[in-house]
């Protein structure tokens, strides 16, 4: 089993440019008659799928999510969160929270130019490992 990540964008060319500039992902190929782009470099294949309108929340959904109909979002692990945040914002991301410290590292929430949420995380050790204090 492996993971594929799909992100809906209203403008595919703009989405490719954003994810290249903001996160350093690499365009690999077009799919679905040019309606999707495969991006590499995040530890899994990420597919940008062009959709003029996002899918509505399913009827009877427990929560009408404001950004999208699912609470799933990608976390990109970076070696320097301040530099990565500045790069993403320069490329067009909206920084939604300040960089916040935790025992296991630092986290910031952002959104892409299409309103899709994502996080940048800088760990101090293994993911979500809380360092032991002597």
pTM attached to this predicted model: 0.82
pLDDT given at position 66: 46
The pLDDT score that the predictor gives to residue 68 is 47
Please state the domain extents for the chain. Answer: 4-52+72-123
Confidence of residue 1 (pLDDT cuts 50, 70, 90): confident
Dihedral of the alpha carbons of 33, 40, 88, 53, in degrees to the nearest 10: 30
Percentage of the chain beyond pLDDT 70 is: 84
Question: CATH number of the domain at 4-52+72-123, please?
Answer: 3.10.180.10
Residue 73: other Cβ atoms inside 10 A: 16
Q: Which residue has the higher pLDDT, 79 or 59?
A: 79
* Across 7-36, average pLDDT: 95
CA neighbours within 13 Å on the CB side: how many for 91?
23
pLDDT of residue 72: 75
């Amino acid at each position: 089993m492996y993971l594929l990540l799909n992100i809906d964008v209203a403008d595919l060319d703009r989405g490719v440019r954003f994810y290249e500039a903001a996160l350093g992902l690499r365009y690999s190929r077009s799919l679905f008659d040019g309606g999707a782009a495969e991006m590499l470099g995040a530890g899994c294949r990420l597919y940008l799928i062009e959709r003029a309108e996002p899918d509505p929340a399913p009827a009877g959904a427990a929560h009408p999510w404001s950004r999208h109909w699912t609470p799933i979002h990608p976390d990109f692990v970076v070696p320097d969160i301040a530099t990565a945040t500045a790069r993403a914002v320069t490329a067009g991301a909206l920084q939604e929270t300040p960089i916040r410290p935790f025992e296991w590292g630092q986290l910031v929430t952002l959104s892409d130019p299409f309103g899709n949420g994502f996080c940048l995380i800088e760990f101090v050790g293994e993911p979500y490992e809380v360092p032991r204090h002597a």
